[in-house]
Amino acid sequence: MLIGPALRSPRWLALAPLAFMLVVLVAPVLRLMGEAVSDGVGPLASGLDASAWLQPWVDPYLRWRLLWSALQAALTCGLVLLLGVPVAWVLARYEFAGRRWVLRALMLPFVVPTLVAAMGVLALWGPHGLWVQAGGQSLQDTPFLLLYGNVFFNLCVLVRSATDALEQVSASRLAAARTLGATPWRAFWRIEWPAILPWLMSALCLVFLYCFAGFGLALVLGGQKYATVEVEIYTLVAYELQLGAAGVLALWTLGITGVFALLYAVLERRLATPLRADRIARRAPRGLGQWLAVAGALAVLVLFCLAPIAAIVLRAVLAGGQAWAVLWEPDTVQALGNTLRFSGAALLLATVLGLAHALAARHSATLRALAFLPLVVSPVLVAFGLLLLYPAWTASVPLLVAAYALLAYPFVAKSLASGLDGLPVNLLAAARSLGASPWRAFWRITWPLLLPALRRGMAFAAATAVGEFAVTLFLSRPEWATLSTLIYQHLGRPGAAHLDAALVLACALMALALAVFLLIEWPGTDAPSPKESHA
């Protein structure tokens, strides 16, 4: 990218985000590992003793945590593939009223904070949920709750990726296959499926990454039997103080998620191709079969992406006006102010870091993969590492904002990286041939084309910061409670009144996250794709 004479290869811009990750992420994790060494219980304290490193695979309990973490992530990948490809095919091939709004709504589950999503699943399928009230059997203490929550968050990833891929299929090749007598089903398997398979693999890497390293959903929905390795790390550190065992699990988790992060970065870079000129035109559904296909696709999206959100709203409405009075309590007003203050400061820092990282990583798969590092490291480990490494900064605003920005800036970096990949080089070349300087070409050509990607990244970064829960729980003071921690406090208190208050606050937090997202992303002309936004 031609930004200026001094920035033709802006690798040096990576110094800022990499230094930030070193100080806020890598050093705290190493400090936590060092604590394990000082206790003489960690793998580093055992020298060359391989048994310490293999302890998670030798111990039946820890082995089950690791295997279940991988299994539930793999099952989620299979479910979203089975459900998402037919839905994406309908959205890519048919034009119907409201299609654009459906594409925008696909990002709604990801905007919803994790704690709110878990409450939505419980409100729908939990022991006191709508399903039980309608006469169904409770699904508590089953893997269904966690798998459903994973599908809720990740179905939209595969649907958007598959929709984008199907829109890149060559119309001439598909028409040639049909002309030669191929049935629609055979044409799909021989022409469309091979074309979209790399896109699907990229999306599935991302789904596996998030499910394996997920914390919030597994903490609330997994229970004792189906909690993941991230929850086990949290338990070992927070309750049992077994830092050595937690360090071993953390290293295995980092190794597994790092492989998938690198694989995704490589696939994403290879998928950065110009749009096809002979894209298949969408057509209006004709006949009962095609309209049933559209209705079926919408039904899948409603059941897995909208139902938990609707369940929260319905339960909150049924709670009555007394429960809604919690919105005007001083604690709620203070929590709302803290949420906006911390999130706003974190968004500014995340935008600067994400822009620098994207510019530096344009031609480097390794730097692209490093942008995932804040997302694959347990936030619990980061929080405790920060407390150990910087005790003088404990419960300080700069430390809290830095932790927020650490979790948010990868969204800006990955969205801008996808935007940079899609820049038409012929426009820059034309501007330069007409006498435009590198800086003028940047401001008149590159920057306007990057603005939609920047808005998308900032929108998801802001939504992430607004709903952040785990880091806030450990790094903030009681008077710095945010809406997410206030919800958690109500959930921890006995009585139906506190549950109703938590549901109302969950509605408020969800509305705030959605409002922030739309305020930043709304000027865009189309819904974001998961390659650009769900990174």
Task: Work out whether the CA dihedral 9, 15, 16, 22 comes out positive or negative.
Answer: positive
Residue type, 507: C
Task: Work out whether the CA dihedral 193, 195, 201, 204 comes out positive or negative.
Answer: negative
Write the DSSP string, 31-50. HHHHHHHHHT-SSGGGTT-H
- Whole-model pTM above 0.85? no
pLDDT score recorded for residue 35: 65
Is the separation of the CB atoms in 69 and 230 below 8 Å? Answer: yes
pLDDT in tens, 252-296: 887 787 787 777 767 766 665 544 556 777 888 888 888 999 999
pLDDT score recorded for residue 523: 55
Q: Please report, to the nearest 10 degrees, the dihedral formed by the alpha carbons of residues 464, 465, 466, 470 taken in order.
A: 90
CA distance 22 to 18: 6
Closest CA to 233 of 225, 221, 222, 245: 245
CA distance 112 to 304: 14
Supply angle C-alpha 307, 310, 311, rounded to 5: 85
Q: At what angle do helices 243-270 and 27-39 cross, to 10 degrees?
A: 150
pLDDT score recorded for residue 224: 81
Write the DSSP string, 287-349. HHHHHHHHHHHHHHHIIIIIHHHHHHHHHHHHT-HHHHGGGGSHHHHHHHHHHHHHHHHHHHH
pLDDT score recorded for residue 382: 80
Flag residues of the chain having pLDDT under 50.
1-9, 40-48, 274-275, 524-535
CA distance 334 to 331: 5
pLDDT score recorded for residue 5: 38
Q: Please report, to the nearest 10 degrees, the dihedral formed by the alpha carbons of residues 469, 471, 473, 478 taken in order.
A: -110
Is the separation of the CB atoms in 360 and 10 below 8 Å? Answer: yes
